[in-house]
């Protein structure tokens, strides 16, 4: 398909698109997560996954983006074009909602980075309770929803370039300082550090369950697809951006994991490595070179900007994917509306509500570190499931290539070979997503393991159920004008008020307000409960009035 240049005042260069996408694909933390799960074996896993997954993944996205370069919905458009409106809707819904646990996880990471900058350590549990941790995460999230609803993409581009570029530079710095330390004769923490240390010792269900986080760490390159509409030569430049991401990913994962084995004993890793490992790493290398905590604080600042950039890109791009090119007959009318800036503001606020529910559910786990790990591992379940739609669309394009425009970039000239590669990617992604239901950070039989398993199942099923309900609600709106009658609105009011009062009562009375407040502890709790109840009644009443008016 010929690529004709567009005429407009502002284009996003392909390098900027690559950096915007890079912040959603891989980061130093992704290396840490898999290092804790597999130790030095992760190097071997990264090598295998790079050639068997990362490169085909990126080139498949490049092929689809080039084939449908005129469409603005990314994976939604690709699935809709190949499988019809209904499947396109489900792809959009699941792709959007399965990103919410990661959005919460990113907001958590922002709080953790502030904790390091303020306190100089990673013992966040001693500085705040679970409730305060959840409350601060909610504040970060709501502020960014407000930010996203008022600022244009130019600020998003700047933040992504600064955050993505700085994170890549910090990783390069870490790798080169590791090499310099080894050259100077500094000791290696992991012993024995030989060829056998990089090979897996066993292949059991626990080991297979860890691969879901590799897939989660590497996927996300398709989030750049909605920005093809902002590129001057999308079908030519988009594949360039994807190839750049693949090269940066290979560098970070392989050399970064190797370097971690130098500063951490891979056989005895800290329990909070997933939450604080990146900070420990830069603290260790800074002290080794006589720099004290300078590198630690520098990384904490970079991490904060990087995570905020992730939050901005994910909220913007995933919402574009969800609502940008989808048959609106499957969605309630309120979610398809946009504000004066053209942004789906109701979609943003629904994101806030669902993320709040996920944060509340996570609060039932014992420690902040458990909350962080569970949210992270939940991404290893739901994110690969949604990625399966991507490979299904590619399989359909190769199976019926005569129905679609010839792309300027073609991954694998032979359609049969292309279909087989797509089938391999679909099957392996689905397999590891199913394996990931098994908790990897808790021992079987413990309370933490049981709770994590229950939450994995319930939250995933809840996402599926909510996605199925949306077309039903939209259909009732078309047929009856209202999705729900008075009884359902009364029930929704009761659930919102009672649930909100119960949650806030528990959080305030048990954790937020200290017992030393005496009688004032009860007074504060009652006042907050009254405010929450009033807010719940107002929200449901206004919601019903708005729907009736429409």
The secondary structure of 274-318 as a DSSP string is HHHHHHHHHHHHHHHTT-TTHHHHHHHHHHHHHHHHHHHHHHHHH
Which tokens in the block code for residue 151? 């600022």
C-alpha–C-alpha distance, residues 174 and 183, integer Å: 14
User: Tokens 């009644």 belong to which residue?
Assistant: 537
pLDDT in tens, 422-442: 999 999 999 999 998 988 888
What SS3 string covers 190-205?
CCCCCHHHHCCCCCCH
Ranges of residues in the chain whose predicted pLDDT is under 50: 1-5
Query: What's the pLDDT at 4?
Result: 46
pLDDT in tens, 537-550: 665 566 555 555 55
Query: What's the pLDDT at 107?
Result: 84
C-alpha–C-alpha distance, residues 380 and 102, integer Å: 10
H helices present in 400-510, as ranges = 415-435, 447-480, 486-506
> What is each CA distance from 66 to 53, 383, 507, in whole angstroms?
20, 23, 50
C-alpha–C-alpha distance, residues 76 and 237, integer Å: 21
Q: Judge whether 99 and 358 are in contact, CB under 8 Å.
A: no
Sign of the Cα torsion 437, 443, 444, 448 reads negative
Would you mind telling me the total number of residues written for the chain in this entry?
550
Query: What's the pLDDT at 430?
Result: 93
Query: What's the pLDDT at 166?
Result: 76
Q: At what angle do helices 368-399 and 345-362 cross, to 10 degrees?
A: 130
Query: What's the pLDDT at 198?
Result: 86
Of 103, 73, 118, 55, give the one whose Cα is nearest residue 378.
103
Q: For the whole model, what pTM was predicted?
A: 0.76
C-alpha–C-alpha distance, residues 208 and 201, integer Å: 12
Which tokens in the block code for residue 517? 């407040």
Query: What's the pLDDT at 457?
Result: 92
Q: Which residues contact 369 (CB under 8 A, 6 or more apart)?
A: 125, 271, 272, 274, 275
């Amino acid at each position: 398909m010929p690529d004709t240049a567009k005429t407009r005042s502002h284009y996003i260069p392909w390098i900027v698109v690559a950096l915007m996408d890079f912040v959603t694909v891989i980061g130093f933390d992704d290396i840490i997560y898999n290092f804790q799960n597999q130790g030095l074996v992760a190097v071997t896993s990264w090598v295998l996954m790079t050639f068997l997954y990362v490169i085909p993944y990126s080139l498949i996205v490049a092929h689809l983006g080039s084939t449908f370069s005129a469409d603005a919905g990314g994976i939604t458009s690709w699935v809709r074009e190949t499988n019809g409106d209904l499947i396109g809707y489900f792809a959009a819904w699941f792709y959007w909602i399965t990103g919410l646990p990661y959005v919460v996880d990113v907001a958590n990471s922002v709080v953790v980075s502030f904790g390091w900058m303020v306190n100089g350590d990673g013992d966040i549990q001693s500085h705040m309770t679970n409730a305060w941790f959840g409350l601060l995460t909610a504040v970060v999230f709501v502020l960014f929803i407000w930010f996203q609803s008022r600022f244009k993409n130019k600020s998003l581009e700047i933040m992504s370039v600064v955050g993505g570029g700085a994170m890549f530079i910090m990783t390069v710095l870490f790798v080169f300082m590791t090499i310099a330390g080894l050259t100077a004769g500094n000791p290696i923490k992991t012993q024995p550090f030989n060829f056998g240390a990089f090979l897996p010792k066993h292949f059991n269900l626990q080991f297979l369950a860890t691969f879901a986080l590799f897939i989660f760490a590497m996927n996300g390159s398709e989030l750049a697809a909605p920005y093809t509409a902002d590129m001057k030569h999308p079908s030519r430049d988009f594949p360039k951006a994807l190839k750049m991401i693949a090269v940066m990913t290979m560098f970070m994962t392989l050399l970064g994991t190797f370097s971690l084995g130098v500063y951490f004993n891979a056989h005895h890793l800290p329990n909070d490595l997933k939450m604080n490992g990146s900070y420990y790493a830069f603290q260790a290398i800074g002290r080794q070179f006589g720099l004290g905590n300078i590198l630690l604080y520098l990384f904490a600042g970079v991490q904060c900007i990087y995570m905020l950039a992730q939050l901005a890109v994910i909220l913007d791009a995933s919402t574009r994917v969800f609502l940008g090119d989808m048959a609106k007959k499957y969605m309630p009318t309120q979610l398809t509306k946009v504000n004066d800036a053209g942004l789906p503001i109701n979609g943003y606020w629904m994101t806030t509500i669902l993320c709040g529910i996920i944060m509340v559910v996570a609060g039932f786990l014992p420690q902040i570190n458990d909350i962080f790990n569970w949210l992270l591992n939940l991404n290893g379940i739901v994110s690969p499931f949604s990625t399966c739609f991507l490979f299904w669309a590619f399989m359909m394009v190769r199976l019926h290539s005569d129905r679609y425009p010839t792309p300027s970039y073609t991954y694998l000239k032979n359609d049969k070979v292309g279909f087989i590669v797509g089938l391999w990617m679909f099957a392996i992604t689905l397999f590891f997503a199913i394996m990931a239901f098994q908790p990897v950070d808790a021992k079987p039989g413990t309370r933490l393991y049981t709770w994590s398993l229950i939450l994995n199942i319930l939250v995933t099923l809840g996402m599926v159920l909510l996605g199925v309900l949306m077309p039903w609600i939209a259909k009732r709106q078309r047929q009856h004008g209202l999705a729900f009658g008075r009884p359902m609105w009364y029930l929704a009011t009761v659930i919102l008020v009672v649930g909100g009062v119960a949650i806030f009562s528990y959080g305030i009375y048990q954790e937020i307000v200290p017992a030393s407040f005496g009688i004032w502890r009860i007074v504060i709790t009652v006042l907050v409960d009254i405010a929450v109840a009033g807010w719940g009644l107002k929200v449901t009443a206004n919601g019903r009035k708005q729907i009736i008016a429409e």
